[in-house]
Structure 1
Amino acid sequence: MLLIARSIILAVLLTLAFFFVIILCLVRPMHRDNVHVIAKIFSSVAPVLGIKVITRTAKADGDTVVEETVKEPKIYLANHQNNFDLFTHTSAVPEATVSLGKKSLAWMPLFGQIYWLSGNILIDRKNRHSAFDTMAKTVKKMKESFLSVWIFPEGTRSRGRGLLPFKVGAFHTAIAAKASIVPVLASCQNHIKLNKWNNGVVIVEMMAPMSTANVEKADVKKLCAKVHDVMSKRLAELNLEASTLMAKPQ
């Protein structure tokens, strides 16, 4: 019964959200803050799914703040677990940020067109030349428009398999743009089920920026491995913290 009721409510909310997003994109197509506004809309749906999302930004000294002012273009690297990312990770998407998605998304009815009109970047990963050209244009746009890019470096959903290996494209872009890398992690979401009233806690943490100012192109694999290691260790800590919070009596 809960599954049916929640599915209906979710369908209604998403339909209303899509209508609003269509209007937003038609009124101001490709606007630098479209993705931020849309992300806020989708993250507001989390309570309907019984998910308590704790969103925070970590400083270098380990303290946390609620929000960080956008000062320079950054590459946000987020772990990609499942479809619930749409309601959890979105709580952390900053202003002046667009995401990088597969070119095939453009062929999805309605969603693909909205994704493109929102200002997001489409890349053809199967075509090496096209992919390099897209990333070169992305670097230019980042520098000229002070635009940040949100990327899922795993390239696919992990579905409970931990942090999968990273593709190096995001790191080439960060080095070329001299942009800081900001890891963004959402704790494990495997416990979320539409037929459960209480789906517990998901912690979304934006980690401290990692500079690429002195990193050379030849060091891209080393940088990739370093960031993967840092994110893997922190993800394990966040999973433990979230599990502890959910184990406490409500």
Structure 2
Amino acid sequence: MLLIIRTLLLSVHFTLASVIGLLIGLCRPFNPDNSRLCARVYGIPAVWIMGLKVKLEDDSVRHHKRSAVIISNHISNFDLVTFGLTVPVRTSSLGKKSLKYVPFFGQLYWLAGNVLVDRGNAVQAKKAMLTTTDTLQHKDMSLWVFPEGTRGHGKGLKPFKKGAFQMAITAGVPLIPICANNYVRGLNLNRWHSGTLIIRSLPPVPTEGLTIDDMPALIERCHADMAACIDQLDQEAGTTTQRT
């Protein structure tokens, strides 16, 4: 019964949150802080409805004052609400172009100033990356990226794609890793306390002075640090990681 009630409440909430987010975007289109506001509108009520116990250890991200590329693990569709709790000011995200066709959400995602990339079109994808790099360098904004490129569904951290690291090196801005435990592994919406979510940010990783030749080592370092952090969070939260 609790599962049914929560599912209905979440459906109503996502519809209302999408309408509110769309209104925010229409009133102040492409404002650099729209993403943070919309993320909170989605995240705060949804986490309460879901019954998640939340612990935020995100000071490195929340209080960062300059441009950065924020990288996080991608667990499930619920990441919209879980990571939405910690999106910092003046931050946009990188998403696939097909998102814009999702009713309400796609339009507000675009109006919030997020970057839509057509992964099937190399020319357009490269152009979007160049524009985003210029924004990082000159407009005091940060970019949130899921470097795995797809959801892990609680089965461990997948290999990273190069885009986020290439942009950070080219723009000369730090990378800030932020991790969540694999909360979907123990998630049960039919329980009053459905699960535990812990989000932890790691110290910024500088990229000044690095070149594209340094990118493989940078990717390997960030992946190893994040994988170790996620394993620790899983232990603390009582969730386990099923590896593929």
1:192 is matched with which residue: 179, 182, 187?
Answer: 187
For residue 125 of structure 1, report the CA deviation from its aligned partner: 1.6
Matched residue, 1:36? 36
Q: Does 1:53 align with 2:54?
A: yes
Q: In the alignment, which residue of structure 1 is the partner of 2:242?
A: none
Runs of 5+ consecutive residues of structure 2 not aligned to the other structure: 240-244
Residue of structure 2 in register with 1:155 after alignment = 149
Alignment of 1:133-212 (within 5 A): 133-189=127-183, 190-212=185-207
Query: Helix, strand or coil: the match of 1:201?
Result: strand
State the secondary structure of the residue aligned to 2:147. coil
Q: Which residue of 1 aligns with 2:76?
A: 82
Structure 1: tracts of 5 or more residues without a match: 60-65, 245-250
SS in 2 for 1:184: strand
Deviations 1:203-235 (CA, angstroms, capped at 9, x unpaired):
011111000012111111111111101111111
Separation of aligned partners in 2, 1:220 and 1:132: 17
Count residues with an aligned counterpart: 237
| Structure 1 moving runs of 4+ over 3 Å | none
Q: What do the CA deviations read for 1:33-70 (whole angstroms, capped 9, x no partner)? A: 000011112221202101011111356xxxxxx941x4
Helix, strand or coil for the counterpart of 1:52?
A: strand
- Whether contact under 8 Å (1:36, 1:96) holds in the other structure is yes
TM-score between both structures, scaled by the size of structure 2: 0.92
2: distance between equivalents of 1:58 and 1:207? 9
Quote the sequence identity (%).
38
The separation in 2 between residues aligned to 1:131 and 1:223, in whole angstroms, is 22
Kindly state the Cα deviation for residue 238 of structure 1 after the two structures are TM-superposed.
Answer: 1.0
Q: Which residue of 2 aligns with 1:121?
A: 115
**1:234 and 2:229 correspond:** yes
Separation (CA, whole Å) in 2 of partners of 1:212 and 1:105: 30
CA distance in 1, matches of 2:189, 2:6: 7
What is the alpha-carbon distance in structure 1 between the residues aligned to residue 109 and residue 11 of structure 2? 19
Q: Tell me, yes or no, if structure 1 residue 3 matches structure 2 residue 3.
A: yes
Following superposition, the deviation at residue 118 of structure 1 comes to 0.9
RMSD: 1.5
